[in-house]
């Protein structure tokens, strides 16, 4: 009898599903969620708005999510100054689904996607699971450097001539932001690739860091994706979105599933966007705790990478996997991202940061004692 493993698509055989550990620990700093709860005033607004639409759940949702697109465009205009319209907005159930729509529309069999690693691990997974060949590009000729080398990025773009290019700013897991000149150069180095700038963490960028949204006019192949999971403390709501040329968003309608954004999802997201200032009030706190975490790790003799995100990539561990386990044994869950001698730590509350730093100190002191 033929087994299910033999029946599944060949490229899926032997693969494992994506997923970070979800463990019940005192301090969870592994998935870059906000440690701050949704403010009560927003909770109350969500409750009212969901109650208001509950009786209409016998009907399909607004397929074009018109009000949500208007609110997202207004948010981008107000916070970045970019002249984004509702027609340029696309949204889905988390930014991963947004990225999947892009690959479904512009990738596929016989096509390639290029990214510069280390970067967001879902970029290759989404590409490959949708039949697109992934090209693992280099960020720098020196693997110890995490900034993206513009000359090298252009060289690889021309050499591979892909259909889709992923850039990430701030980059996950390194936390480093891109100079917009690199985005322009990569875009100009190809006349056919869709260039995606993943800005999931952009609200945490240091002052003066511009958004790639400013580059959209006149660039029909440029896409800027974002999420409400991070800065809006809305990971459980599953709402991601992008801005691009109106023709681009129109083409994504060819691959979305019917009525893909539920009435409840739209109501919840709109309620949060009506309280943008309240939701984003936590961002400055998180940027402060991120900088405190960076300084605390440096004081322990580690090598944290300067970050524009809500996490810090920390180097200097003799055995990252062993340190990860030792921290978990002390109730602190961080992320082993597969970069030798490095761990990624989400910026938590001041109390969570303090607990993490104490656990790190204890682990490092034990290693020294064992020597």
User: Using 50, 70 and 90 to split pLDDT, how confident is the model at 368?
Assistant: low
Q: What pLDDT was estimated at residue 227?
A: 98
**Concatenated DSSP letters for 291-343?**
HHHHHHHHHTT-EEPP-SSSEEEEE--S-HHHHHHHHHHTTEE-B--S-TTEE
Quick: pLDDT tens for 175-195: 999 999 999 999 999 999 999
Which single residue is written with the structure tokens 């696309």? 90
Q: What is the pTM of this model?
A: 0.95
pLDDT of residue 21: 81
User: Rounded to whole angstroms, how far apart are CA atoms 178 and 211?
Assistant: 9
Q: According to the model, what pLDDT value does residue 2 have?
A: 83
DSSP letters for 99-144: HHHHHHHH--TT-EEEEEESS-THHHHHHHHTTPEEEEEES-SSTT
Q: pLDDT per residue over 92-151, tens digit each? A: 999 999 999 999 999 999 999 999 999 999 999 999 999 999 999 999 988 878 999 999
Is the pLDDT at 19 greater than 80? The verdict is: no
Q: How far is CA 190 from the centre of its chain?
A: 25
Average pLDDT score over residue span 280-296: 95
Which residues have C-beta within 8 Å of that of residue 295, sequence separation ≥ 6? Answer: none
pLDDT score recorded for residue 52: 97
Architecture category of domain 40-274 in CATH: 3-Layer(aba) Sandwich (3.40)
Between 44 and 8, the more confident residue is 44
| CA distances (Å), origin 135, targets 127, 130, 301, 351 | 10, 14, 36, 41
User: What's the pLDDT at 129?
Assistant: 94
What is the edge-to-edge ordering of all strands in the sheet holding 164-168?
89-92, 240-243, 222-227, 194-198, 164-168, 112-117, 133-138
- Percent of the chain having pLDDT more than 70? 99
The H-assigned helical ranges of the chain are 4-7, 40-54, 66-80, 95-106, 122-129, 150-160, 180-188, 246-252, 263-273, 276-299, 320-329, 350-370
Q: Which conformational region is residue 89 in: left (phi greater than 0), alpha (psi within -120 to 50 degrees), or beta?
A: beta
Has residue 268 got a pLDDT over 90? yes
What is the pLDDT averaged over residues 77-106?
Answer: 97
CA distances, 237 to each of 18, 168, 333 (Å): 19, 22, 23
Element (H, E) at 242: strand 240-243
Q: Parse the chain into domains and list their residue ranges.
A: 21-38+278-370, 40-274
In sequence order, the 6+-apart residues with CB closer than 8 A to the CB of 9 are none
- What whole-number distance in Å separates Cα of residue 23 and Cα of residue 94? 22
Identify the bridge partners of residue 240 per DSSP, sorted by sequence position: 92, 227
- Does position 250 have pLDDT exceeding 80, yes or no? yes
pLDDT in tens, 34-66: 999 999 999 999 999 999 999 999 999 999 999
pLDDT at 71 over 90: yes
> Mean pLDDT of all residues in the chain?
95
Q: Is the predicted pLDDT of residue 370 greater than 90, yes or no?
A: no
**CATH 3.90.1150.10 is right for the domain spanning 21-38+278-370:** yes
Position 371 pLDDT exceeds 60 = no
- Tell which residue, 231, 337, 323, has the closest CA to residue 280: 231
């Amino acid at each position: 009898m033929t087994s299910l493993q033999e029946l599944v698509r060949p490229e899926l055989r032997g693969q494992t599903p994506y997923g970070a550990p979800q463990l019940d620990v005192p301090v969870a700093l592994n998935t870059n969620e906000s440690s701050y709860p949704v403010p009560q005033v927003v909770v109350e607004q969500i409750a009212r708005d969901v109650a208001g639409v509950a009786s209409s759940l016998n009907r399909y949702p607004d397929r074009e999510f018109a009000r949500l697109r208007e609110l997202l465009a207004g948010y981008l205009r107000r916070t970045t100054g970019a002249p984004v319209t509702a027609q340029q907005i696309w949204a889905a159930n988390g930014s991963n689904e947004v990225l999947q729509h892009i690959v479904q529309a512009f990738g596929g069999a016989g096509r390639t996607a290029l990214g510069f690693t280390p970067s967001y691990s879902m970029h290759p997974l989404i590409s490959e699971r949708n039949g697109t060949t992934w090209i693992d590009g280099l960020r720098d000729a020196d693997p110890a450097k995490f900034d993206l080398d513009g000359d090298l990025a252009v060289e690889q773009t021309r050499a591979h001539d892909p259909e889709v290019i992923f850039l990430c700013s701030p980059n996950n897991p390194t936390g480093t932001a891109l100079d917009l000149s690199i985005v322009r150069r990569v875009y100009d180095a190809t006349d056919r690739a869709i260039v995606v700038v993943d800005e999931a963490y952009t609200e945490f960028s240091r002052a003066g860091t511009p958004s790639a949204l400013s580059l959209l006019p006149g660039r029909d192949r440029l896409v800027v994706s974002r999420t409400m999971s991070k800065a809006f403390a809305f990971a459980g709501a599953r709402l991601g979105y992008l801005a691009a040329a109106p023709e681009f968003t129109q083409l994504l309608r060819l691959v979305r599933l019917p009525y893909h954004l539920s009435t409840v999802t739209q109501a919840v997201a709109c309620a949060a966007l009506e309280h943008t200032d309240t939701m984003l009030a936590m961002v400055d706190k998180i940027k402060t705790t991120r900088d405190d975490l960076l300084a605390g790790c440096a004081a322990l003799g580690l090598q944290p990478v300067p970050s524009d995100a809500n996490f810090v990539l920390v180097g200097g561990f003799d055995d990252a996997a062993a340190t990860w386990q030792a921290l978990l044994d002390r109730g602190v869950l961080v992320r082993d991202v597969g970069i030798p001698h490095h761990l990624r730590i989400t910026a938590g509350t001041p109390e969570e940061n303090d607990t993490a730093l104490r656990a790190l100190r204890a682990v490092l002191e034990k290693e020294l004692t064992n020597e």
